[in-house]
Amino acid sequence: MAAWVGGAVAGAGCIVAGVLLVRAGLDDADKWASVIGMCIAAAGLPLAVYSIVLARRSLTTPPPTQVSAQPAAQPGHVVSGSTIEGDNIQIGRARDVDIRRER
């Protein structure tokens, strides 16, 4: 719903700006369009830098986590001598699972 409202407001704003620029004449409309474009570019630059920073943060992986040999809440579930790093395998409601990954 908010996307529709935002789109309608943006569309109405573009129409109003277009009408004002047509009434201003070609020379003044060109000047106003340059100023509006500069403002949009100035607002977009910090957003682009922020998105690059967020993307770089998501590429870093946390250090490996050592899992101690502690029995789980349910009897019979034990993890021992394991190192979790990189791609993790998640298993739910499984019986007699033996996963070995050689490197």
Q: For 12-54, write each residue's pLDDT tens digit.
A: 998 998 898 888 888 888 898 899 899 999 999 999 999 999 8
Instruction: Please report the beta strands in 1-103, taking only residues with DSSP state E, as ranges in sequence order.
Output: 65-67, 70-71, 78-79, 82-84
Residues 6 or more apart whose Cβ sits within 8 Å of residue 82:
66, 67
Supply 44's token pair: 């977009």
Looking at the domain assignment, is residue 92 inside a domain?
A: no
pLDDT of residue 71: 46
Looking at the domain assignment, is residue 96 inside a domain?
A: no
Q: For 42-99, write each residue's pLDDT tens digit.
A: 999 999 999 999 888 877 666 555 555 554 455 555 666 666 666 666 666 666 666 6
Looking at the domain assignment, is residue 93 inside a domain?
A: no
Q: How many domains does the chain have?
A: 1
pLDDT of residue 85: 65
